[in-house]
Each structure stands twice: as C-alpha cells, then as structure tokens.
Amino acid sequence: MLTKLLRAAAVLAGLAGFVPSLHAAKAVEVFFIDVEGGQATLIVGPSGQSMLIDTGWRGFDGRDAERIFQAAKAAKVKQLDYVLITHYHRDHVGGVPQLADRMKIGAFVDHGPNKEDARVVNEDYADYVKTLPRAQHQVVKPGDSIPLKGVSIDVLTAAGAHIQSPLAGGGQPNPFCASSPKRENDPTENAQSTGILLTYGSFRLIDLGDLTWNKELELMCPNNPIGSVNVYLTSHHGLDQSGSPALVQALHPQVAIMNNGARKGGSPKAWQIIKDSPGLEDFWQVHYAMEGGKDHNVPDTFIANVDEHCEGKYLKLTAESDGSFTVFNSRNKFQKTYKAKSR
C-alpha cells in the first residue's frame, strides 16, 4: 500500500509540474518606438526572435538608433534577427547605419531597388546599400512570408504590387470602397511600401508602412483580402495621403495605434476616419499631434508623449495567442487589456 501511495504521489507531483507548462507559451511583444514621426516598430516573437520594422531618422546624434537600442534592451533582445525596411524615405531607412553600429543584425528585408529618383532618397538608399554586407539580405514580394519563429508574418504589399489571393478570413466584398474615391497617383517610395500582417494564433496586427491612398484601394477593392484585425498601425503616421475608409474601416480594428510625431502625422481628416471606424474600442498615439488640437487627439492617458520636446517614450503591446492583448504606456504606466475579438 505504501508503495502504491508513493507512486501515486509521484504521478501527482509530475502532473503538478506539467500543468504550468501548458500555460508556458510566451506572448508576442511589440514596441512602438518614438522616432518623432518616422517608424521603428520592434516585434519580439514567443521564441525570442526579433524583427524591427524601419529604423527612424538619421542624424540627431544617433537619437533614433539609441531609442531602438534601449527598447531592445527593455525587451531583452541582444540582436535583431530581421530588420524590415518598408521603403527608402529618411524617416524609415535613415537610421540604418547608426543602428548597425550599435546592434548585430541578422538579415535586412526590403522590396528591392529604390524606385524614386530624388536626391535625399538616393542618398539614404546609397547609405543603406553600403550597410547591407554587414548582414544577410532578402528581397520580398507579396505572398511571401518572413520566418520569425512562432508567428506568421505575411507580406501583403511590396514594390507597388499586392497579394492576389485572399488570406484566411478574407475575400468578402468591401462596402467601404464606394466612400474612398481614387486620388492622384503617388510616384514616390511611399507607394512602394512593404506591408505585413502579423498573426499569432487569433491575434492579428497590420502594418503597411507609408502605403498611399490609391495603393490601399488596389489592395482592398472590390474585395477585402485580409478580413478584420485586432490592431491597425496607422498608415503613413496618420497623414491624409493614406488611411482611406476602404482600408481602415474595412479592417474593423479593435485598437488603432498612430506612430506620429508632434508635427508630423495626425492629420485631422485621417484621424477622424480612424476614430469613426466601426468597432474601434480605443485609439492610442505615440505623440500628441499639434495640428489636431484637442478635437483631434485622444485623451492624454493614451498618448506616449504629450509634449513636443519629449523623452521619447514608447507604447508596448503584449499579445496572447487567444487574441487578447494589452497596451502599455511607458510615460504614465497606464495599461489596458482587450478581450479576444470574435470574428
């Protein structure tokens, strides 16, 4: 009898040790780093692998590269496995050389050669190309994926093209196309932006870089190939050249996050389209937008940097595989958790 009891106790002890492991799956962390109206979004997958989307501006005594480095340190990331460059404008690619001096980079990912013949763009692209030999290099096209362990990173747009087949959950007619008439075509690198959808279990986050209005329509009309998302990172920092209803409102995001600066992004018209999106629970901003005033900014609680001359505070998102997630404001330590979205 004693032997049986000991064996039973050993089995129970083993089960007790096993039960926590059922809940040991790590969350995905996303840091929306303040680079003053550019983009630098750090994704850390459940495996610990990391991907940075864009690197902010060059210059400013290495300000943006240092802010990325500090965010990576907070995330316990010692190297960047992937650095995805959405396009070759200075507020997205300019910080590459300074960042490469601070952190090891596994691979650069981009849409291929620069498509805009402008002096500043050519200069930043040339500096980027000079840095490429310090890591591997991958050119992606729509339909490709970026192999970040534990999550799916689907490439939706790149080099002016977009996915031709709907993703799981997509393919329905888009009723918001009618309220999004075409505009003049954008000949710049913005229209070439590499856009991605991150999926972790039931959680979905979309980032289309600075993809412009007409390219959004090409992607989303007449049918929505994506379906709905939990989090929409505002296209083009919340500028009016992007963020059409055909994109924003068709995605039905629970939460929108705007990576604007004090005096870049956050245009009132674009802000209002986001605010009016059906089903939107909350809207967060990296900066208070001076152009918007009190009528076109969210409450200070949801803004990482409320002063024009700020300390570069970030927003952090932590996502679980069941679709629930939490957004944390590093300035005031306020955080809010969102339940999994039913689709």
pLDDT, position 343: 64
Domain ranges of the chain: 25-338
Q: What is the pLDDT of residue 6?
A: 39
pLDDT digits (tens, 9 = 90+) for 48-90: 999 999 999 999 999 999 999 999 999 999 999 999 999 999 9
CATH topology classification for 25-338: Metallo-beta-lactamase; Chain A (3.60.15)
125 has pLDDT over 80: yes
Return d(Cα 2, Cα 136) in angstroms, integer.
62
Region of poorest pLDDT, from 2-16, 43-57, 248-262, 274-288 = 2-16
So what's the pLDDT on residue 14?
Answer: 42
- Indicate the burial class of 306 (C-beta count within 10 angstroms; 0-12, 13-18, 19 or more): middle
User: What one-letter code names the amino acid at 240?
Assistant: D
pLDDT of residue 93: 98
pLDDT > 80? residue 20: no
Mean pLDDT of 127-150: 98
Mean pLDDT in the chain?
93
Spatial distance between the Cα atoms of 305 and 21, rounded to a whole number of angstroms:
38
Instruction: Check whether 2 has a pLDDT greater than 50.
Output: no
Judge whether residue 108 has pLDDT over 80.
yes
| Whole-number percent of the chain with pLDDT over 70 | 92
State the pLDDT confidence band at 25, using cuts at 50, 70 and 90: low
Tens-digit pLDDT profile for residues 197-215: 999 999 999 999 999 999 9
Q: Is the pLDDT of residue 252 over 70?
A: yes
CA torsion angle 241 186 91 35 (round to 10): 20
